[in-house]
Amino acid sequence: MFSDPEKNIEQFSLGKGNYVADFGAGSGFYSFSAAEAVGETGKVYSVDVQKDLLQKLKNEAVSSRHLRNIEIIWADFEHLGGTRLRESSIDAVIIANVFFQISEKDNCCLEMRRILKKGGRVLLVDWLSSFGGIGPKPEDVFVPDEARKIFTRHGFIEDREINAGAQHYGIIFRKS
């Protein structure tokens, strides 16, 4: 794997009892790491549009990893209100390796802003480039400067960068 979810979550510094939304949860690697970080008093909402991946994620969380603090949500986070999570109810959002695929990036940012508490944070991890069939097509790469522009436009402040691996970048944004 090019980017290590455990290391990235560790750098994100989630606290025990935090409520986290994992946008584009996919196979659940970030959800699993976040669920361990927030502990039994916290909760991770694994959000994805692919029902089969979500069910597989839930099964692995419970049967293999014994994590009972993950809730799956079949939803489209490219629409305002699409996650159906309560406004200002989430401490942190993770969006890893999917932002380049999103066609409605503005709506996605607005949905993150809607569900985040004041001062809530976003961990954005995405590809720096295209790597010979791994990752996005060259024309789909969403570079860090573009990420900064879109998040700033929607009321986020850059907190800091993290080391997300050789082929990825990681930026933590905070809701202002």
Within 97-176, strands assigned E span: 116-127, 156-162, 168-175
User: What's this model's pTM, rounded to 2 decimal places?
Assistant: 0.95
Tell me: the pLDDT tens digits for 112-122?
Answer: 999 999 999 99
Tell me: the pLDDT tens digits for 10-25?
Answer: 999 999 999 999 999 9
- Comparing CA positions, the residue from 96, 95, 85 lying closest to residue 43 is 85
Which SS3 state, helix, strand or coil, does residue 144 take? Answer: helix
Gyration radius from the chain CA atoms = 15
Tell me: the pLDDT tens digits for 36-94?
Answer: 999 999 999 999 999 999 999 999 999 999 999 999 999 999 999 999 999 999 999 99
Supply the mean pLDDT for the chain. 95
pLDDT of residue 17: 98
Please report, in angstroms and rounded to a whole number, the separation of the first and last CA atoms in the chain: 33
pLDDT of residue 30: 98
Q: State CA 161 to chain mean position distance.
A: 15
CA separation, residue 147 to residues 58, 73, 76, 158, 176 (Å): 30, 25, 20, 10, 16
CATH fold label, 5-175:
Rossmann fold (3.40.50)
Where do the structural domains in the chain lie, given as residue ranges?
5-175
